[in-house]
Amino acid sequence: MKMERENVFEGRFVDVQIRSTSDQKIEVVVSCNSVAVLVYNRRLRKAVLVQQSRLAMVSANNRKGIITEVIAGRMNKYNLTLKGLIALEIKEEVGVDVPENDIIVINGLQSLAMSPGMATERCYLALAEIPASSFPKEGSVFGVQEEGESTRPVIYSFEELDALVYEDMKTLALVQFFLRGIEREERSRVR
């Protein structure tokens, strides 16, 4: 299929192209891929999410754009391995050092399309177990100031995670994948 591309906008994080074929013409948001990770401790039965302001989430119902989500970041800033970037994001957003060997990238190392009808971004999803002694303190503030990032860790029990109402697709997907795995583990131990 022959496709033509015309750049109509170049930004800091994204570009917009008009992509057209003989029978279709659409705007496409072109951006780098991303990573997202759920950090947890099985023995404590707790996980760490982060709260931060996201300008794209500002609305009449959310004037500051505050959203609770998994730790996440773009794959555009460092020449690191996938797990190395995930470990860096965990350090930046909740202040915890996680060895790359403790990070599990799910879905067979296959990234997932974030919005395949209009965007090129794909996201790698991961899990990372941390020791109870490494849990960040709620109310602490982390993030990369140069990027305008300010994240606050929020700790939830596994039961609270299951009852939350989510605003973010990658967070919902990771939490549900994780909880389903925990449930399978617990059922197999009972047998």
Region of residue 45 (phi > 0: left; psi between -120 and 50: alpha; otherwise: beta): left
State whether 142 and 161 are in the same domain.
Answer: yes
Q: Which amino acid is at 187?
A: R
Q: What is the model's pLDDT at position 191?
A: 63
- Shared domain for 186 and 106, answered yes or no, is yes
Q: What is the pLDDT of residue 13?
A: 86
Q: Which domain holds residue 67?
A: 32-190
CA atoms within 13 A on the CB side of 52: 26
- Do residues 15 and 5 touch, judged by C-beta distance below 8 A? no
Answer yes or no: do 162 and 130 share one domain.
yes
Closest CA to 56 of 66, 46, 47: 66
For residues 24 and 36, membership in a common domain is answered with no
Decide: helix, strand or coil at residue 120: coil
Q: In terms of domains, do 12 and 49 share one?
A: no
Extended beta strands in 42-181, E state: 46-53, 66-69, 71-74, 103-105, 112-113, 122-129, 152-157
Encode the chain (191 residues) as per-residue pLDDT tens digits: 899 999 999 998 899 999 999 899 999 999 999 999 999 999 999 999 999 999 999 999 999 999 999 999 999 877 899 999 999 999 999 999 999 999 999 999 999 999 999 999 999 999 999 999 999 988 899 999 888 889 999 999 999 999 999 999 999 999 999 999 988 888 887 76
Q: Are residues 88 and 168 in the same domain?
A: yes
Number of domains comprising the chain = 2
50 and 20 in a common domain: no
> 37 and 27, same structural domain?
no
Q: Which residues contact 60 (CB under 8 A, 6 or more apart)?
A: none
What's the token pair of residue 87?
């470990």
Alpha carbons within 13 angstroms on the beta-carbon side of residue 61 total 3
Read off the pTM: 0.93
Q: In this structure, are 111 and 26 located in the same domain?
A: no
Cβ 149 vs Cβ 143: under 8 Å: yes
Any idea what the CATH number is for the domain that residue 98 is in?
Answer: 3.90.79.10
60/137 same-domain check: yes
